[in-house]
Each structure stands twice: as structure tokens, then as C-alpha cells.
Amino acid sequence: MTLDLEAPPWSAPAVGTAARPIRPRRLRRTPALRALVRETRLHPSMLVAPLFVHPGSGRSEPIQSMPGQARLTPDLAAQEAARLADLGVGGILLFGLPEEKDAIGSGASADDGIVQDALRRIRALELPLVTIADTCLCEYTDHGHCGPLAVDGSVDNDAALTRLAATAVSQARAGADLVAPSAMMDGQVAAIRAALDAAGFEQTAIMAYASKHASAFYGPFREAADSAPAFGDRRGYQMDPPNGREALREMSLDVAEGADILLVKPALPGLDLVAAARARFDLPIAAYQVSGEFAMIEAAAERGWLDRRRATTEAVTAIVRAGASIVITYAAADLATWIRDER
């Protein structure tokens, strides 16, 4: 058989005696056809909405760098959880802003802590919603790092494990379905699993921030959670963004330690890792569309440079297409509404 170098690029090899043109556009012709053959579909139940909880009652405080987002008091967080549940959103992820901070982040594990209060209020509503608590110390320490400090000023890894384990147990006691350790301390999943089991919370699952890079895209979050480090940065424990193989190693370690869900953060800069995790591990894969990713779309849309709805939907669809079955996103409520409107 000889190759016809003059055949147009849209022509298929000969079938029988006649060449047939390849026309993928046939299935793109109408909205109904495109919907019929769509490979990746979003559903509200795969979305998780982060909520920032601060002290007080009846008080909502807008977050300037994250349009449409606000810090909420526990009573308002419960109301927002109910609204999200009505929209069909699958879960909420709670971050706390305590009234007081100290060197070891003691407020994180307090049974009357800010997240624990919100969890109890939300659980009392019996919503069809998964409650997830961020298990970290950076919002609770007066220095802004993710654990107690050693003499040399670095984070004391093993001291942090003790505090993270106590925090997870307190969150489970308050009603968290999932705890989500995000401190990137070595051995954190194993320490938390052992503590939960010992306290009788064998059914509380762990969503491990298995691949969490020291990303430039976290800036708005640090304003929202008042968690910027007082000195230095977190590059000594969060991962170096160029490292992909190391991210997979971190995931393997967390699987061995008992993680139930693996989380990649940030999402769009880590799509390759989402895909690699989906190919390698049998656990559910989550991805966090972080504050900077959200804020970029919002800012561009505000200036008329992007269609907000289309850009947000496309970005989250790409995350799911890469392999995530759970997406944490600040656009969860809007996405759920848009998905519902398209039905």
C-alpha cells in the first residue's frame, strides 16, 4: 500500500474502494447533540464549598479579595450550609478564625472552638450535606505557622502531630464527617487515624491534603483566614511546585497511613497530578480550586475580560476531566445553580 501524500488532511484511509472524510463536527452541530455526547459532566453533589467562620452572632464580613465570599458567624454559617444543601451541593469545608491565638494553636482543639460550634449547629439541622473540618493550626497560632515552633524557629513536626491529632478528635466529636489535615507534617495522617480510632471515631474519614504545593495562588485565602505567617514562609513543609514525582510519593505515604480521600491543591496548576493520582490510586481524588484561581476569574470577569459563568464552568470541568470526583471551590453555589438551570 502506498501513502497518498496529496490526500487532504481531513480524509481517512481508504475503506474498500472509497475514501471517507472524517467529520467530527457532525456531533457538534447543535446544543442537543453536544449535550448528548458530552464526556465530562458536572453535578452539584461533587462540589464542596469552603466557609470561613469567625466569632460573634449575626455578622457577615465580606472578603475583599474574594468577591461574593464572606466570613460568617456560626449561626450564619449554619444558614449558608442549609442554602447550599438546598442547591444540592455535596459538602462544606470549615475554616475557623478564633477570637484568640497562642503559640501552639490551642483553640483548634477546643471543644467550644469556633469550628466546633459551627459543626454542632450544622449537624443539628440534619442536612443532606457532608461536613468537613480543615485540620490545621495556622489560623490558631499567633505566629501563623502550622504547628508549634522548635527552638530554631522551624515547625516542630512531631509536636504538631500531637496537636493535629487532638484537633481532629475534637472536630469529630463536634460532628465532622471528614477531617482534612492540611499542615503537610510528615506522618500526620497516621497520627490522626490512630487518635480517631482510639477515641471511638473509627467511622470518621480522612481527606488528606496529600499533594499541597507552596503556591502563589493562596494569597486571598490568607486574607480570608487571617493566617499569613508572621515570619518566613511555609516552603519548609509545603511542597516545592516543580516536584511532581515527590507529590505522588506523598500520596502513596498518605494511602499507606490510612487516608480515605486524596486531595491535590492547587487544582488547575496541578491537573497533571490529578490525572496521575486518578491513574495510580483507587481512592476518591479531590482537588481544591484555591482562592487565587477563583479570584483571577472574578477579577477578569469584573473587568469584562472573561465571561464569568463560562470561565468558571470550564475551569471546574477541566478539573473533573483530569480525574477529580470531588472539587472544592468557592463557586460551588453558583455552579450548582447553573447546573440546575441547564436541566
Termini Cα distance of the chain? 50
In three-state secondary structure terms, 277 is helix
pLDDT by residue for the chain (343 residues), tens only, comes to 455 555 555 555 555 556 789 999 999 999 999 999 999 999 999 999 999 999 999 999 999 999 999 999 999 999 999 999 999 999 999 999 999 999 999 999 999 999 999 999 999 999 999 999 999 998 899 888 888 899 988 889 999 999 999 999 999 999 999 999 998 889 999 999 999 999 999 999 999 999 999 998 888 887 887 777 776 677 777 889 999 999 999 999 999 999 999 999 999 999 999 999 999 999 999 999 999 999 999 999 999 999 999 999 999 999 999 999 999 999 999 999 999 888 7
pTM for this entry:
0.91
Active site residues: 212, 265
| Angle between helical axes of 188-198 and 245-257 (0-180°, round to 10) | 20
Comparing CA positions, the residue from 234, 233, 181 lying closest to residue 210 is 181
Angle, alpha carbons 77-295-291 (nearest 5°): 55
Domains of the chain: 40-342 (3.20.20.70)
CB of 230 closer than 8 Å to CB of 100: no
Comparing CA positions, the residue from 173, 178, 145 lying closest to residue 159 is 145
How far, in Å, are 58, 169, 221, 272, 276 from residue 106 at the CA level?
A: 25, 13, 21, 37, 37
